[in-house]
Amino acid sequence: MCSSPTAKRTGRPRSADADRAILAATRAALAEQGWGRLTLGDVAARAGVAKTTLYRRWAGKNELVVDAVAALFEEQLELPDLGSLQADIQGVVLRFAELLNRPETRTALMAVIAEAAHDDALRLRIREAIVDRQKHLVVLGRKRAQQRGEIPPEDGAADSAAGPARDNLIFDVVAGAVVHRVMVSSEPVDEEWAGRLAVLLVVGLAGLHTAQDL
């Protein structure tokens, strides 16, 4: 950000351990106290680090927490290959729900989203660091389904916008439905519910392909 990777820096280098300890402490504190009661003093104390060290690296709560949360989503999700689109969807839904049920993730994610509701820069950071990184799952799932012949291949130039639009819709529906079920309805995402959602999506998606121009 402020220096090219090859820029030789003089003086004592920053401790990499500190970074890890701080991010871990942030996640732990966030899970326990929630965004509102999260204090940077507490994070510093948990990490065994001075507050100064913390402010030397992040500009404030937002930046720190987004980084801490992003790490959670870094490599957590992958698309299982279960033989059919419906099974794949059911599988990824269950994994996502499991992630959302861990207290650290649940608190952290909602906290940053809420904070982003009135902070455009933060919303952008979330999209880049967390959301966009997961969209490839949809793309991957569609390609597998097309290879299996479950859904038709892309037509090409004619309605070029429809494909990505469908991908985005699927993403919003899957992510939104799971989050809503877990966070708002407070009901479990079990195999049954995930199965129903998968059926809805597979059948509905076929309908979308049938309907022209959608």
**Interacting positions 38-67 with a second copy (CB under 8 A):** 61
Give contact residues for DNA (rule: CB under 7 A). Answer: 8-15, 18, 37-42, 48-53, 55-57, 60-61
28 lies in the binding site for a second copy (CB under 8 A): no
The single residue among 45, 129, 139, 206 that binds a second copy, judged by CB under 8 A, is 206
Written as six digits, the tokens of 117 are: 């509701």
If binding means CB under 8 A, how many residues of this protein chain bind a second copy? 59
133 lies in the binding site for a second copy (CB under 8 A): no
Beta carbon nearer to a second copy, 80 or 188: 188
- Which listed option, DNA, a second copy, none, makes contact with residue 79 (CB within 5 to 8 Å by class)? none
Least separation, in Å, of the C-beta of 7 and DNA?
Answer: 10
136 lies in the binding site for a second copy (CB under 8 A): no
Helix H, strand E, coil C: the string for the chain is: CCCCCCCCCCCCCCCHHHHHHHHHHHHHHHHHHHHHHCCHHHHHHHHCCCHHHHHHHCCCHHHHHHHHHHHHHCCCCCCCCCCCHHHHHHHHHHHHHHHHHCHHHHHHHHHHHHHHCCCHHHHHHHHHHHHHHHHHHHHHHHHHHHHHCCCCCCCCCCCCCHHHHHHHHHHHHHHHHHHHHHHHCCCCCCHHHHHHHHHHHHHHHHHHHHCCCC
Cα distance between residue 63 and residue 58, in whole Å: 6
81 lies in the binding site for a second copy (CB under 8 A): no
With contacts defined by CB under 8 A, name the span among 1-9, 13-21, 70-78, 190-198 that binds a second copy. Answer: 190-198
203 lies in the binding site for a second copy (CB under 8 A): yes
**Structural contact between residues 25 and 46, judged by C-beta atoms closer than 8 angstroms:** yes
Q: Which residue has the tokens 């790490």?
A: 71
Least separation, in Å, of the C-beta of 5 and a second copy?
Answer: 26
192 lies in the binding site for a second copy (CB under 8 A): yes
Written as six digits, the tokens of 171 are: 């993403």
Site track 152-171 with a second copy (rule: CB under 8 A), x = hit:
-------------xx-xx-x
Residues that bind a second copy (CB under 8 A): 31-36, 61, 103, 106-107, 110-111, 113-119, 123, 126-127, 131, 165-166, 168-169, 171-173, 175-181, 183-187, 192-193, 195-197, 199-208, 211, 214
